A and B are shown apart, each in its own frame.
Chain A
Amino acid sequence: MYVRLDERYRVTLTLNGRERSAYAEPRTQLCDFLRHSLGATGTHVGCEHGVCGACTVMVDGRATRSCLMLAVQVEGRRVETIESLAKEGEMGDLQRAFREHHALQCGFCTAGILMSCHEFLGRVTDPSEAEVRDMLSGHLCRCTGYTGIVQAVLAVARARQNNRQEAP
């Protein structure tokens, strides 16, 4: 798509399973677009330069830093944010495990961490603690010291593993 810098474009995407659209300038960051144009304020911004991981969302199924992407780049694509994790009003297993293991305090880093964990657990079914820590090393959390987060992810992986084994 050819864009002019001083024009606004209507960007249409699938956000958390629903088609949504709004205007964006070519330079509008995806995180700002999600938060302020589409109202998905669950995604947070911690550094705007790609280090803290707070802004992580899924774009076409891949964990992506929404501060390093432009809104116009998601035209026609699928974006999932933290708001998608509760199904039919109930929190998912990952969210419940975070609560159980005290994996959050202020909760500001949590949205991005949940999205990375969500993607990871979809790929890796039986992770070691070292693998979990390695995956989480792209995120900064200033509150928890990470222990609860690591425990929560390992617990979900184990529980899903058990469920799979029990399933006929």
Chain B
Amino acid sequence: MNSAAPLHHQQSRSYVGKRQPRVEDEALLRGLGRYADDLAVPPGTLHAAVVRSPHAHARIQRVAIEAALQIPGVRGVLTGEDVKRWAAPFPVGVRQPMEHWCLAVDKVRYVGEPVAVIIAEDRYLAEDALESVEVEYDVLGVSIDPEMATNDDASVLHEAVGSNVVNDRYFNYGDADTAFEQAAHRLSLKVRYPRSACTPIECYVVLGQYDPAEGGYDVMANFQGPYAIHSVMARALQVPANRLRLRTPPDSGGSFGIKQGVFPYVVMMGLAARKVGAPVKWVEDRLEHLQGASSATNRVTTIEAAFASDGRVSALRFDQLDDCGAYLRAPEPATTYRMHGNVTGAYDIHHLQVRNRIVMTNKMPTGLNRGFGGPQVYFALERLMQRIAVTLDLDPLDVIRRNLVPTQAFPYRCSAGALLDSGDYRRGIELGVEQGGLEALRQRRESARREGRHYGIGYTVAVEPSISNMGYITMAQTPEERRRAGPKNGAVSTATISVDPLGSVSVHVSSTPQGQGHRTVAAQVVADVLGIPLESIRVDVELDTGKDAWSIASGNYSSRFAGAVAGAVHNAALKIRARLDAIAAQQWQVSVEDIRFGDGRIYTADGVHSTSFQRLAGATHWAPGTLPESETGGLRETAFWTPAELTAPDDDERINSSLCYGFIFDYCGVELDSLTGRVTIDRYVTLHDAGRMLNPQLVDGQVRGAFAQAVGAALYEAFHYNEDGSFASGTLADYLIPTTVEVPDPTILHMETPSPFTPLGAKGVGEGNNMSTPVCIANAVADALGDAVEPGAIELPLTPSKVRMLMGIEEPPRPEGVAEENAQASAGGGSKLSASDSVEIPASPQQVFASILDPDTLKAMIPGCHSLELTGDNAYRADVTVGVGMIRARFDARVELTELEPPHSLRLSGAGKSGMGDAAGAAKIRFSEIEGGKTRLDYDYEVTVGGKIASVGGRMLSSASKMLIGQIFSRLSQRLSGSTSKGSLWQRLRALTGKRGGDQ
């Protein structure tokens, strides 16, 4: 080896970047894994079962436990009274007088909320005794729908707050108002993202112990971090953090964020152990898990874009309403802010306004769930981009391309503060298009459509953040509140490497993995740095807060392993190597530059000196006297690492919410079954740039796992609550997780743009498809359904029945010559209904009146209008597709505006024929000016239908007409507000909340 070689340390073999079978696997494949429920428990351990609320909202009058205590084998019952005596409520992330205790103390606020804990000699006995606890409830009204929960007359969960909206923040970056004013086009879209969860196959397990001598708790739980929550638990238990020893088992049966939510049970079982003076173990069952563990946050978003005729977006507005359930459980409202810095996605959009509200409802509290905040943001943003393309009649991919962050701009500062570390998004798109076979997919769509099949293509680009900035959570506070509380930021990761007297290497990381293969990757990194065989290294991932190095960012979340934790491992290994360098250099009287590591040996570049790694490393224990003066003996190094780029939010409310930002480009082809409505994914292509890949096989495993979960979220999974708040998804037969036959194998493509900010250039990769795939599938379904379906009606999960409803019944082809006939209403004998309604439009009566008379506006107003042709004075012939219930029909219609009395009233009437029957309708519209230069339209309308359409029945017809007419006016309103920016929704909102954007 040439001593002048540019690389200081040459390795005989390198592991990083290569496919490497996992060191974890053999034990798991032999059934020798040690999961939480497999571990031995101390003699005398008792078992717990949790009494839960059957009501969504009720005041607790009395909890009677006497009968339970009489049952043989029952050793005690923990109630809210005990909890009040020994514990405190959990700290909450917003400044509001709301309390969350580990057991309900005064009220229950969701079905499944823990009310008492039975402690008995075995789990069966404990469960038997559940029924004998008598709880008297005073049932209260419920708030389930997040929008209704914001109403003044809604039932309030936390009375002291006075409202269900517990946090309301408004952010303004750049000058969105002007951008909207000047833009050629505007489009707004309202979407709802449902509740679902990644539901690991292993449920929660906790073993609590209490030591009265030390006044401390010792709890084993399959908790996954973040360890910032350790502080939350210690505060609730009212002990210093060193009196809450929290331990994790060697193996965990999956988490995906969900096992963060075990923390209230850590406190609960600690208290249960204290109550009975014995260790208490609790194993959650599946019903408990589904109804009470944790859920992703459901969100209602109204998103609006200002854009040019080529699809270039100049400004965005987000109005996000996040439903965090019954309690704001730490780290919520983090879902809302995890994406905040990069809420503009992969796009270069300068002007941005965001309003975020957090609302409480009578549902289980939300928490970490793989993708965390990402699926919700991208569902709105990428649906909107698709709508922009449809509106402008452009290829959606062209609209995406035109808006991407340009390659030369990296590192790119987003308007809300994220610093996109690296990337080449345009090249990503080109690679994806070529290697994924987009052209062939387009041809498949063409030929499917020629055959009359429903086939659509959807696209998504997404930025996948990883390594969260602990400071983003404080965005829920105002700059003033943050200043008072002191700065929060960073993301400290830790790793420890020790070399024992026989020279073997042990690594410890505080990343609490749940199946991702952290032990393998950590060993790959260390093997490369120290030049020793991977098999010789032992990696320990159990975390014991009483003994191990850890910090608040420890744990397994925000895809932080590859970027941050593996980086800390690398740094710890470098520290070990530097010490061995110095020892070898002194022993051999050479310069440290000449020392090499490889093949399990340490040697000089010229080959004169060589010794085994074990021998030299062992010398630190056996013969410290022979070492250089700088040496203290022993060989153990801990590295702490936190990136400088993760600064606290600034006074302008900009936040670099994560350290790394990977890039994803997805597209897919789906087909809808016209009989059943089932969505089949024909092809799915997903391109990832996650920086440097440490182990490509594990990267693909992460992508596949995330993809399968996302297919579930897109097509099958949702937590359903009935109107009274009862929970309707309590078994895996109700909550449908996709199996092998529903999950296709995606085409996975990679590119590598290393992160300049992480020690190894790696970024996170595990959550990307949870973010990108649901909306990609929705966009494809939208494409397959066509323009006649109201965009906001495309809601996840796209179950067969929902899709079937959206598809409607195909009308038979129009018989020859029908189109030539004069389409007159001939609907006699069919269903008839009349009703009235009103709507407010932000423009003067003159403006509204004039625009209805304008053919372009009229065309834009009518949903599903393919063409509108002037046939006389204010008389038109229209080609319109209308859906009523399951029936969808294309009408050849006449539309007329008569009885014109500008600007006071007019009559809008139409009549048409279709293969599915006839329809006629007329509305008398009256215009009155109201406060703020707006107009109220009052309208009475009458609809008559005949033929097949009439078969849908009066109720369906009435709601369909109401919806259709509502759509007509909301389209009018949207079109008009597009040309008037004064008194815009945003300005009104701001005036209303009295809050000002950061840059004003």
Determine if chain A interacts with chain B: yes
Using a CB–CB cutoff of 8 Å, the interface residues on chain A facing chain B are 25, 27-28, 35, 40-49, 51-52, 54, 81-83, 85-86, 91, 95, 98-100, 102, 104-111, 114, 132-134, 136-150
Is there contact, CB below 8 Å, between B253 and A44? yes
Nearest A-chain residue to B203, judged by Cβ: A46
Nearest chain B residue, comparing its CB with the CB of A114: B29
Chain B contact residues: over half helix, strand or loop, or mixed?
loop
Q: Is the CB of A108 within 8 A of B253?
A: yes
What is the distance, in angstroms, from B702's C-beta to the closest C-beta of chain A?
Answer: 8
Complex contact A106–B22 (CB within 8 A): no
Query: How far is it, in angstroms, between the C-alpha of A64 and the C-alpha of B319 when the chains are bound?
Result: 51
A148 to B21: give the CA distance in the assembly, Å. 13
B528 within 8 A of A: no
Closest 4 CB pairs of A and B: A42-B31, A106-B515, A108-B253, A107-B28
Q: Known interface pairs A102-B701, A107-B253. Does A146 touch B743 (Cβ–Cβ under 8 Å)?
A: yes
Please report the C-alpha to C-alpha distance between residue A134 and residue B38 in the assembled complex, in whole angstroms.
31
Closest to B258 in A: A142
A25-B124, A91-B26 known; A106 and B701 CB under 8 Å?
Answer: no
Q: Which residues of B contact A100 (CB under 8 A)?
A: 21
Smallest beta-carbon distance A84→chain B, Å: 9
Q: Bound state CA distance, A146 and B26, in angstroms?
A: 19
Q: Is the CB of A105 within 8 A of B254?
A: yes
- In the complex, B709 has a CB within 8 A of chain A: yes
Residues of B within 8 A of A145 (CB): 701, 704-708, 743, 745
Residue of B nearest to A149 (CB): B740
Sample of 20 more A-B contacts, CB < 8 Å, known A41-B38, A142-B200: A41-B31, A47-B286, A48-B285, A54-B201, A82-B31, A91-B30, A95-B29, A106-B251, A107-B251, A108-B200, A108-B254, A108-B515, A142-B201, A142-B256, A143-B515, A144-B708, A145-B708, A146-B739, A146-B743, A148-B704
The contact of B732 among A51, A86, A146, by CB within 8 Å, is A51
- A107 vs B23: C-alpha distance when bound (angstroms): 13
Q: Which of A48, A82, A146, A150 contacts B286 (CB 8 A)?
A: A48
| Min C-beta distance of B283 to chain A, whole Å | 8
A142 touches B29 (CB 8 A): no
List residues of chain B with CB within 8 A of the CB of A85.
29-31
A98 to B762, CA, bound (A): 27
Question: In which size bucket is the chain B interface?
Answer: 35 or more
| Chain B residues, CB < 8 A from A45 | 37
Complex interface: chain B residues within 8 A of A40 (CB) = 31
B252 touching A106, Cβ below 8 Å: yes
Please, how many angstroms separate the alpha-carbon atoms of A111 and B15 in the complex?
29
Q: Which of A42, A102, A148, A150 has the most CB of B within 10 A?
A: A102
Interface of A is mostly: loop
- Chain B residues with CB under 8 Å of A47's CB are 286, 731-732
A102 touches B698 (CB 8 A): yes
Q: How far is the CA of A47 from the CA of B254 in the complex (A)?
A: 14
Q: How far is the CA of A62 from the CA of B80 in the complex (A)?
A: 48
Please name all residues of chain B whose beta carbon is closer than 8 Å to the beta carbon of A146 when the two chains form the complex. Answer: 704, 708, 739-740, 743
B732 x A110 contact (CB < 8 A): no
Instruction: Judge whether B26 and A107 touch: CB under 8 Å.
Output: no
* B199 contacts the other chain (CB 8 A): yes
Name the residue among A54, A95, A145, A150 with the largest chain B CB count within 10 angstroms: A145
Report A-chain residues with C-beta under 8 Å of the C-beta of B733. Answer: 49, 51
B650 interface residue per 8 A CB criterion? no
**In the docked arrangement, what's the CA distance between A85 and B709, Å?**
30
Return B196 CB to nearest CB of chain A, in Å: 12
Instruction: Report B530-552 residues with CB < 8 Å from chain A CB.
Output: none
Give B30's nearest chain A residue, CB to CB. A86
Interface residues of B in 122-163 (CB under 8 A from A): 124
22 contacts between A and B (CB under 8 A): A46-B253, A47-B732, A98-B29, A99-B21, A99-B29, A102-B21, A106-B253, A106-B514, A107-B28, A108-B33, A108-B202, A111-B31, A132-B740, A137-B740, A137-B741, A141-B708, A142-B254, A142-B256, A145-B707, A148-B701, A148-B704, A150-B740
Q: Which residues of B contact A149 (CB under 8 A)?
A: 740
> What is the CA–CA distance of A77 and B231 in the complex, to the nearest angstrom?
51
Residue B24 CB within 8 A of the other chain: yes
The reply to whether B739 and A137 contact each other, CB–CB distance below 8 Å, is yes
- A8 smallest CB distance to B (angstroms): 12
Chain B nearest CB from A9 CB (Å) reads 15
- Which B residues lie within 8 Å of A28 (CB)? 124
Chain B residues contacting A106 (CB-CB under 8 Å) are: 200-202, 251-254, 514-515
Are A133's CB and B29's CB within 8 A? no
The reply to whether A44 and B740 contact each other, CB–CB distance below 8 Å, is no
Give min CB distance, B259 to chain A, whole Å. Answer: 11
Give B123's nearest chain A residue, CB to CB: A32
Q: How far is the CA of A100 from the CA of B33 in the complex (A)?
A: 18
Compute how far the CA of A101 lies from the CA of B708 in the bound complex, rounded to whole angstroms.
Answer: 17
CA distance A43 to B37 in the complex (A): 11
Q: Decide if B516 is an interface residue (CB 8 Å cutoff).
A: yes
Closest B residue to A111 using CB positions:
B31
Chain B contacts with A in 677-707, Cβ cutoff 8 A: 697-698, 700-701, 704-707
Knowing A102-B701, A107-B515, the reply to whether A143 touches B254 (Cβ < 8 A) is yes
CB distance from B733 to the nearest CB of A (A): 6
